[in-house]
């Protein structure tokens, strides 16, 4: 069964939001980093055996076994593998994107260290499981686990390589099997760069299907569609096309839906869409206010309270730097929602990173503020700009911090939404960056955004303010749904 791109992105983002997403990475993921695939790796071995690698590509495990049988040692093959994987490789964009996603479970049959390297570069604490013994201990405060079920280049003599290794796997690696079976039952996997000819995976998937019958959990894989230009003649192409379709139908037995892509670059685009869509669940609230004109003090605070409450009611998470005259009412709005929904937890709906107001020791306050802003904004997918004024020397002036936050949001590719009707620096931003703000949106969303900025609100009337709030909420809901 195939799935279209839009539906797949939607479903996988839901898995991310429910903390049930997982990755299973195969050799194809690392090919973009310069590592060779198994067919290339075993080409010389095939030549020594006087076999045609093209005819053996569906039984490379058997080919490796034949080669070792002939050599009566796996030393030569280990050397070839070590030479190929000892070269330093740069992280691919796909590795970087996978590491940025809020996924805590990564499985791989690869010997290289690209996944853990990518996670480490994102500042994540990684627990790498290379062998059976490591499964019984855990790294403190880990936020990602990488299961290397076929071993690691650092223990070349213990990698899973031959038919003999595969046949004994159930005896030599029972805990890996048990944990993978559990994850396949409880998580939604994306198989990427992976071949389903691996006998271990076929066995595990079959076993789960037999236990659960038709109640298996949905999983997804991305495969490149076969193209005629890749074959010598039309007959070979049609044969490959039929075989791929049968393969897709076979995967559906295990509740694995297949997304076909025309080109490998599409995989990067899909991962980027998933990452951006997921981030849009989190909204950065930029704003400060000593006064709230054209609102009065009471209705200005009411607006902030209701807006925050309605956003979290619609499953958004808010991030704020506790801006003066804004942060308190954002917190109050979220707290109001949580008080009426006992199962909700504050940390699931709000992240607060207050700005220190006084320096001490060798602390450079401006550098701290800069770092705080980047940390807050980089986890978000949208930014709402509200009000933007402060008191200086007894006068109300525009708050320049909003523009700094706007520029960071632009660099981090957030959807930027200055709510013009709140005035002050926000109105200034709306006018100054009008063209680039508008270019972010498709026609429907641009119309909704303009309706907010043109809305004739009665700023002293709570019902009218509620209508304004709902228009803003409807806008961010629509943006979240777009690619």
For residue 468, give the CATH number of its domain.
3.40.50.450
Query: Are residues 367 and 381 part of one domain?
Result: yes
Query: Are residues 404 and 316 part of one domain?
Result: yes
**Rg of the chain over all Cα atoms, to the nearest angstrom:** 27
pTM, two decimals, is 0.89
Q: Catalytic annotation on 247? A: no
Query: Are residues 369 and 258 part of one domain?
Result: no
Please state, in angstroms and rounded to a whole number, the distance separating the CA atoms of residues 311 and 334: 9
Find, among 167, 125, 166, 173, the residue nearest to 149 by Cα: 173
Residue 311 is inside which H or E element, if any?
helix 297-313
Residue 462 resides in a domain: yes
Residue 215 in this model has a pLDDT that exceeds 80: no
Query: Are residues 450 and 311 part of one domain?
Result: yes
- The total domain count for the chain is 2
What CATH number has the domain bearing residue 156? 3.40.50.1220
pLDDT tens by residue, 365-393: 677 778 889 989 999 999 999 999 999 99
Structural domain of 264: 5-35+89-277
pLDDT tens by residue, 418-477: 999 999 999 999 999 999 888 888 889 999 999 999 999 999 999 999 999 999 999 999
Q: What is the mean pLDDT of the chain?
A: 90
In this structure, what token pair is assigned to residue 341? 């929904």
Residue 449 resides in a domain: yes
Residue 341 is inside which H or E element, if any?
none
Residue 358 in this model has a pLDDT that exceeds 60: no
- Give residue 208's pLDDT band: very low, low, confident or very high (50, 70, 90): low
- Domain ends where: 261, 277, 293? 277
- Domain ends where: 277, 297, 316? 277
Residue 45 resides in a domain: no
Residue 351 resides in a domain: yes
Residues 6+ apart with CB under 8 A from 39: 53, 57, 60
Q: What percent of the chain has pLDDT over 90?
A: 64
- Domain ends where: 260, 277, 294? 277
- Give residue 405's pLDDT band: very low, low, confident or very high (50, 70, 90): very high
Average pLDDT over residues 219-241: 90
Query: Are residues 347 and 464 part of one domain?
Result: yes
CA atoms within 13 A on the CB side of 172: 14
pLDDT at 357: 58
pLDDT at 368: 78
Residues 6+ apart with CB under 8 A from 446: 438
Average pLDDT over residues 295-321: 97
Residue 384 resides in a domain: yes
pLDDT at 355: 67
pLDDT at 72: 86
Find, among 147, 227, 156, 151, the residue nearest to 180 by Cα: 147
C-alpha dist (Å) from residue 370 to 151, 259, 408: 42, 41, 9
C-alpha dist (Å) from residue 280 to 300, 318, 335, 382, 426: 25, 11, 21, 6, 21
- Give residue 26's pLDDT band: very low, low, confident or very high (50, 70, 90): confident
Among residues 150, 173, 305, 349, the one annotated as catalytic is 150
- Give residue 265's pLDDT band: very low, low, confident or very high (50, 70, 90): very high
Query: Are residues 399 and 323 part of one domain?
Result: yes
Residue 68 resides in a domain: no
Residues 32, 38, 41, 44: is their CA dihedral positive or negative? negative
């Amino acid at each position: 069964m195939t799935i279209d791109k839009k539906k797949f992105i939607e479903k996988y983002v839901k898995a991310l939001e429910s903390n049930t997403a997982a990755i299973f990475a195969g050799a194809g993921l690392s090919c973009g980093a310069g590592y060779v695939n198994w067919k290339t790796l075993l080409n010389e071995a095939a030549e020594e055996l006087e076999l045609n690698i093209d005819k053996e590509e569906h039984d490379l495990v058997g080919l490796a076994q034949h080669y070792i049988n002939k050599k009566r040692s796996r030393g030569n093959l280990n050397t070839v593998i070590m030479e190929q994987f000892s070269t330093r490789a740069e992280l691919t964009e796909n590795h970087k994107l996978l590491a940025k996603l809020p996924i805590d479970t990564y499985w791989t049959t690869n010997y290289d260290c690209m996944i853990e390297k990518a996670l480490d570069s994102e500042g994540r604490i990684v627990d790498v499981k290379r062998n059976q013994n490591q499964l019984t201990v855990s790294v403190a405060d880990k936020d990602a686990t990488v299961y290397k079920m076929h071993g690691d280049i650092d223990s070349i003599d213990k990698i899973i390589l031959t038919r003999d290794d595969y046949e004994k796997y159930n005896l030599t690696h029972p805990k890996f099997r048990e944990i993978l079976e559990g994850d396949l039952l409880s998580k939604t996997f994306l198989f990427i760069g992976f071949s389903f000819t691996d006998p271990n995976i076929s066995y595990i998937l079959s076993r789960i299907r037999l236990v659960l019958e038709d109640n298996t959990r949905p999983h997804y894989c991305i495969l490149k569609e076969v193209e005629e230009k890749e074959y010598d003649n039309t007959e070979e192409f049609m044969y490959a096309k039929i075989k791929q379709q049968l393969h897709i139908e076979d995967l559906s037995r295990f509740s694995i839906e297949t997304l076909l892509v025309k080109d490998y670059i599409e995989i990067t685009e899909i991962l980027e869409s998933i990452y951006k869509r997921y981030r849009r669940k989190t909204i950065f609230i930029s704003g400060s206010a000593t006064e709230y004109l054209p609102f009065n003090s009471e209705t200005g605070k009411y607006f902030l309270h209701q807006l925050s409450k309605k956003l979290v009611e619609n499953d958004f998470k808010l991030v704020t730097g506790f801006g003066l005259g804004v942060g308190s009412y954002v917190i109050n709005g979220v707290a109001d929602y949580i008080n009426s929904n006992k199962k909700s937890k504050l940390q699931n709906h709000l992240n607060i990173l207050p700005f220190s107001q006084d320096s001490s020791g060798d602390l450079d306050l401006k550098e701290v503020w800069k770092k705080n802003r980047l940390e807050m904004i980089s986890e978000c997918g949208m930014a709402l700009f509200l009000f933007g004024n402060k008191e200086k020397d007894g006068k109300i002036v525009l708050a320049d911090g909003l523009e700094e936050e706007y520029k960071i949001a632009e660099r981090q590719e957030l959807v930027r939404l200055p709510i013009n009707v709140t005035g002050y620096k926000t109105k200034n931003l709306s006018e100054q960056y009008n063209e680039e703000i508008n270019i972010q949106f498709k026609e429907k969303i641009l119309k909704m955004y303009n309706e907010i900025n043109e809305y004739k609100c009665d700023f002293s009337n709570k019902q009218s303010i509620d209508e304004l709030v709902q228009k803003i909420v409807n806008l961010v809901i629509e943006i979240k749904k777009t690619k």
